[in-house]
Amino acid sequence: MSQSNYIPGNSKSSASLGEGTYATVYKGRSRTTNEIVALKEINLDAEEGTPSTAIREISLMKELKHVNIVRLHDVIHTETKLILIFEFCEQDLKKYMDQHGNQHGNNRGALDPATVKSFMFQLLKGTNFCHENQVLHRDLKPQNLLINRKGELKLGDFGLARAFGVPVNTFSNEVVTLWYRAPDVLLGSRTYSTSIDVWSCGCIFAEMISGVPLFRGKDTQDQLLHIIRILGTPSDQQLAKMAKDSPEITLKPFPRCPKVDLQQVLPKASPAAIDLLERLLKFDPAERLSAVDALSHPYFTETANDMAFGMNIPPGSMPPPNFNFPHPNRHQQRAHAQPGAQQYSNPPPIAQRVYNFDHHHMQHPVHVPHIDQKRHAFLHDAGSDYAYGLGDTAFQQQCSTEYPSLMSTTYLDYAASAPPPVSTFHRISEKIATTLYTNPHSRSSSSVATSLEIEQCRGQVLEDLFGLDDAQKRSQWDVIFTAGATASMKLVGEAFPWQAGTSKYYYLKQSHTSLVGVRGCALSRGAVVAAMDIDDMLESPQAKSDSSPTLFAYPAQCNATGQRLGLGYGIHLKRRHPNTCILLDAAAYLSTAVLELGSVPLDQAPDFIACSFYKIVGYPTGLGCLVVKRSSASFLQRSGYFGGGTIDAISVFSPFWSQPRRSLVPGPIHERFEDGTLPFLNIIALGHALDTHRRLYQSHRHVSKHVSALLRFTTRELSLIHHANGRPVVRLHRAFGNSEYLEEPGPTIGFSLFGPSSEFVGHVHLEQLATINGFQIRTGGLCNTGALASAFDISDQDLMYEYNRGRSCWDDEEFSGAENRPLGMARISFGASSTIDDVLQWVSFIRRYFVVSEPVIALSKPLTTPKASASAVASLQTLMLYPIKSCGGQSLPKSSSWEIIPTGLLYDREWLLMDTSSGKTLSQKQYPRMALVRPSIDLNRRKLVVCAPDMTDLVLPLDMSETDDELSANVCSDVVAVTSSGGAADEWFSTFLGVQCTLHRLSGGASRHAHFDRATGSVPILLSNESPFLLITRPSVDQVNQWIKENSGGTSLDEPVHPRLFPRQLPPRRVHVHITAAAAALLRGYGRPPSHRYGDLPGARALSALSHGLRESEDRVQDEGTI
């Protein structure tokens, strides 16, 4: 916003409100709104630039919007000054206490009890909001608490504030004004958290009661002495515990002082006030009350006297605070205007639409233990199992050093891939830069050295990941390097000696798709295939010793739910079926645990084991292995293709023959199956990655202990989350039920969420909310259809039904069309670098967005759609046409007419842009600049005119040539016929978008059909996703614009979002669009009066789909009044 919008601080009409080291605050006025504001003017040094405190204050205060936090309206940046425009507050708490304290008594500055209670409640509300949004203020004191004319207290001056949470960072201990600084910080702690602000709140509380600061030291040592003279000297055990929690604390000898009764220090305070104060001023930060729990303290609900909550001040002064104090387990009463969506830094409008209740209900109940208390409880219970014995602080520091990419996100998808540590790349790059590695098929010295490192890596894999510490036991196994676990399973499927009609392939139905895929190889060779449950597989007919080969397959760990069968289930299989082979998918299991092959008798161990290394150490990707029991090597037979390095002899001419590679001793089966040159640099990198893994985490077994501790805590916390009506929020899925063959589960949790009426919450909705809140999780079918089917009782007929109606594994469909059953689940998972803060943030997220902490009043009967009436007819205000898919739109004049064809509006989404390299259709998600492309149809000139910033207009003919060659393009999983628009158009779009692309047009007569069923049948469309029309009501647009303004501090455009197509304001709290009304509105509004029956109109079917979609929308939002 321009500086001219405000009267600047150096004008004659402004007054200086205060001056600090870096800034001066003036009273100013907005020229546009005439609102009085505070202008914080910061002089910029040409060499130093913008102070970091100012940058931090701006970035945090733009996100923190709450009635008890001072509002940042705008920021003005010039070459010499930075001006922050804040809401104006008349004075700070210190000045207020000086002016309105107990002037006629002995305690000058002391406030009356009602005022203390009001201000304390507001202070804790603002502080709690900061903590819920992972912000530490770090400088709470009376001078930084502002009071406006309404008696509202607001937290200000966020120059020292810092974000915290994931992971906990190491902070400076040179924070907080001395008299309000916590003892742990005075002792040198740099890993403090929200308790630092809680201590300051306690000090301010005492000061409001007495009129003077409670602890008034001259320096750090003197401040500590003042504290212990009142609170008493902490015990040696307390100090030792604090030092353990924060190793940087320096313990000092203190004089032995007894604890002083605070009632003697503050004789006018009520017993409840003293109790609250004692809980806030705990020497040990772990014992301090959290802000959220302090709000529910009985002090705020006591009725010791009948005095109204107000300020006992002279007439004409500020009015009393307009806050009522609620019951501890209820939200603040609404007798006065309270903040709405602006109270949240990220208001949850999406979640609000799911349940149709006010988003105040989405705050977690106040009785939930605070995040710091949960962290301390976990660390106590987990002991040395968590953090590899490093201690929480050292482990957090290691994570911040080794995984800087995780500092800005909460990563909970380790089952998909593990992030690699930085030192792995340092070791690899240094080694490769200083050592010559060459093709191991050569015989040079560098080639021999390369071969030796590859063989060492095979042994390292068996030792570190499979527990084969003994060389003799390692010799019983071989490692075939592959492109990954999927390639390993494919190798077994292709090399297994299937015999038509007699060989069998039995696999657990809850297997990963890659393991299920082996059935394709078996079926193509005529083998018998069956998907089974755990018990059914064990009870299958025994194979005879002379029978055809039989292959059992199962996952050591379910990739979707984390349940583990490990090696134990295979032992039972081998005992029951000794003449068979077992293929074990160990990709998920090995990601955080050692598969202890050395602990199992060789004859009862699996024959083939598949794994991927990126799931374990993050890098290299594209590398896995198949571990083969040498005694079972005969079951893998090469046929067909052979590659370099896998044969001993080969013929040149017919009759063609080749001899596979053999060794002088029985063994290296890998020599027969590793075609061509191995990715030797990747394998060498793997060796260094395993070395780094061992250095950071001691061993892979320690990783298992670490993640198991997190898993136990997480499952317990999730199981404790309930709605106000007592119904659970989280349902944990178990792919294998409660089978007796299960091991302790792995660190993967598959789950679904429930609403307050036990209705499922859509997995896509969950993922979208998680993403915008900084979480990375996985949702959907998770490449495990069997687990999904078991979780939601989905049959093969149901799966075929969904496929026929257009549903696919990668789409956003959340529920089945037939019975509204979920079509996906959610998954979170942990790995070596996971922290307790990852878990705490996730649990807090679930509580905030999905817990209904107050009962939702349900309608006694469902609303019905009333009959059409003249007052309910919708009229079109704006009609937008989008000729090029995913580009900008063209507004059609109301005075014009426009043809409606069976696929919608003529020329709507008839062109598309396709990536030259991939052949995929471009979208705004990938290339946001597409929104700046503005195509328009000129019917008079019969031209398509395309405009974009700094580009010459592109003009193309509307009429298609009969000689244009047809091509194929993929649009939303459909293959459609298109024609090219020419090289000039391709060059124009490639230049503007910065990607090589081509413009194509749907061929004449070609069309698609919407995938998902409608009541009216399949709807013909062109290049739109699922419908030819999108109708948006004006109230919906107004609400979105309101949210944008609130999140941008009110500095955005008057109307940031403009609708494509929306009716004028409809009757309040009611939406009704009738099919004929919609048709008439479309035609009447654009100069084409209906001259015949609706059913005969050219666009009748499209309009019918539009109207049906409106009625579906109406059913969902009748109580909201928006579509």
pLDDT in tens, 249-282: 777 777 888 899 999 899 889 999 999 999 999 9
pLDDT at res. 967: 62
Asked if the model's pLDDT at residue 345 lies above 90, the reply is: no
Fold of the 3-87 domain: Phosphorylase Kinase; domain 1 (3.30.200)
Q: Considering the chain, what is the average pLDDT of its residues? A: 79
Q: Alpha-carbon distance 223 to 748, whole Å?
A: 48
Q: Has residue 21 got a pLDDT over 70?
A: no
CATH 1.10.510.10 fits 110-152+161-300, yes or no: yes
CA angle 893, 897, 899 (to 5 degrees): 125
* 78 pLDDT higher than 50: yes
Average pLDDT of the segment spanning 1027-1045: 76
Q: Which H or E element spans position 722?
A: none
Could you tell me the sign of the dihedral formed by the alpha carbons of 1025, 1031, 1037, 1040, in that order?
negative
Q: How many Å apart are CA 379 and CA 286, to the nearest integer? A: 12
For 789, the token pair is 């089917």
Query: Helix 763-772 crosses helix 836-850 at what angle (to 10 degrees)?
Result: 120
- The answer, yes or no, to whether residue 245 has pLDDT greater than 50, is yes
| Cβ(62)–Cβ(73) below 8 Å | no
Summarize the confidence of residues 382-391 as an average pLDDT.
Answer: 93
How many Å apart are CA 627 and CA 461, to the nearest integer? 10
**What CATH number has the domain spanning 375-412+699-736+743-845?**
3.90.1150.10
Name the phi and psi angles at 232, rounded to 5.
90, 155
Residue 1108's alpha-carbon distances to 272, 879, 1036, in angstroms, are 60, 19, 19
Residue 834 above 90 pLDDT? yes
Distance of alpha carbon 174 from alpha carbon 575, whole angstroms: 66
Q: Which of 573-587, 884-898, 991-1005 has the highest mean pLDDT?
A: 573-587
pLDDT average, residue stretch 439-462: 93
- Residue ranges per domain, the chain? 3-87, 110-152+161-300, 375-412+699-736+743-845, 458-640+682-697, 879-1015, 1033-1117
CA dist 393 and 244 (Å) reads 9
Angle between helices 271-280 and 195-210 (to 10 degrees): 150
Secondary structure of residue 71 in the 3-state scheme: coil
| Mean pLDDT lowest among 196-205, 788-797, 858-867, 917-926 | 858-867
Helix 836-850 and helix 700-719, axial crossing angle in degrees, nearest 10? 20
Say which residues have a Cβ less than 8 Å from residue 753's Cβ, sequence separation at least 6.
729, 730, 731, 760, 761, 766, 826, 846, 850
48 secondary structure, DSSP code: T
Taking the CA atoms of the chain, what radius of gyration do you get in angstroms?
35
Phi, psi of 95 (to 5 degrees): -65, -35
CA–CA gap between residue 1070 and residue 1072 (Å, rounded): 7
**Whole-number Å distance between alpha carbons of 730 and 715:** 10
Query: Token pair for residue 296?
Result: 């529910």
- Angle at CA 143, nearest 5°, toward 142 and 149? 85
The tokens for 116 are 């203390």
pLDDT digits 0-9 by tens, 759-778:
999 999 999 899 888 999 99
Find, among 1103, 1027, 1113, the residue nearest to 1071 by Cα. 1113
| Of residues 626 and 1085, more confidently modeled | 626
179: confidence class by pLDDT, cuts 50, 70, 90 = very high
Taking the C-alpha atoms of residue 68 and residue 150, their distance in angstroms, rounded to an integer, is: 12
The whole-number pLDDT of residue 609 equals: 98
Cβ neighbours around 87 below 10 Å, total? 17
Q: Which helix (H) or strand (E) holds 438?
A: none
Alpha-carbon distance of 913 to 886, in angstroms, equals: 9
**Residue (of 665, 647, 664, 666) closest to 656 by Cα position:** 647
Q: Which residue has the higher pLDDT, 486 or 548?
A: 486
> Cβ distance 935 to 884 under 8 Å?
yes
If DSSP codes are grouped into helix, strand and coil, which group holds residue 736? Answer: coil
Q: How far is CA 53 from the centre of its chain?
A: 28
The residue to which tokens 């990852």 are assigned = 838
The residue written with tokens 């699922």 in the block is 1026
Q: Is residue 536 over pLDDT 70?
A: yes
What confidence tier does 643 reach under pLDDT thresholds 50, 70, 90?
confident
Per-residue pLDDT at 304: 40
CATH of domain 458-640+682-697: 3.40.640.10
Answer whether residue 341 shows pLDDT above 60. no
Helix axes 836-850 and 371-382, enclosed angle (nearest 10): 140
Residue 125 assigned as binding residue: no
Question: Which is nearest to 368 in space by CA: 697, 799, 729, 51?
Answer: 729
- For range 1092-1107, the mean pLDDT: 33
Q: What H or E segment, with its residue span, contains residue 1053?
A: none
Pairing of strands 504-508, 550-555: parallel
User: In whole angstroms, what is the distance from residue 724 CA to residue 1057 CA?
Assistant: 36
Residues tagged active-site: 783
- Helix extents (H) in 14-70: 52-61
* Number of neighbours of residue 42 by Cβ within 10 angstroms: 20
The residue that leads in pLDDT, 544 or 235, is 235
- How many C-beta atoms lie closer than 10 Å to residue 271's C-beta? 12
Q: What is the mean pLDDT of residues 557-576?
A: 95
3-state secondary structure of 660: strand
Compute CA distances 872 → 67, 609, 948, 1070, whole Å. Answer: 39, 66, 40, 9
3 state DSSP class of 800? helix
Q: What separation in angstroms does the CA of 268 have from each of 107, 124, 165, 295?
A: 10, 22, 39, 21
Cis peptide before 167 (omega within 30 of 0): yes
The larger pLDDT score, comparing residue 1106 to residue 473, is at 473
Residues, the chain: 1123
> Side by side, which strands form the sheet with 974-980?
911-915, 997-1002, 974-980, 966-971
The phi and psi torsions of 688 (rounded to 5 degrees) equal: -70, -35
Which tokens hold the place of 48?
Answer: 């130093």
Sequence-separated contacts (24+) of 330-334 with Cβ below 8 Å: 330/854, 331/360, 331/361, 331/363, 331/854
Distance CA 1058, CA 1037 (A): 7
What is the pLDDT, as a whole number, of residue 1112?
36
Reading the block at residue 587, the tokens are 């990709």
Strand 550-555, strand 581-585: pairing: parallel
Instruction: Give the pLDDT band of residue 779 (cuts 50, 70, 90).
Output: very high
pLDDT at residue 77, rounded to an integer: 82
Q: Which two tokens stand for residue 747?
A: 């660190």
Record the tokens describing residue 722, joined without a space.
Answer: 């309930």
Residue type, 928: P
3-state secondary structure of 807: coil
Identify the H or E element spanning 377: helix 371-382
Report pLDDT for 1098.
33
Dihedral Cα 412, 414, 415, 419, nearest 10 deg: 150
Tell me what pLDDT residue 373 has: 84
- pLDDT for the residue 1119: 31
Q: Cis omega (within 30 of 0) on the bond before 668?
A: no
Average pLDDT over residues 697-726: 95
Question: Which pLDDT band, with edges at 50, 70 and 90, does 1094 fall under?
Answer: very low
- CB burial class (10 A; 0-12, 13-18, 19+) of residue 438? middle
* Mean pLDDT confidence for 1089-1113: 34
Do 54 and 82 touch, CB atoms closer than 8 A? yes
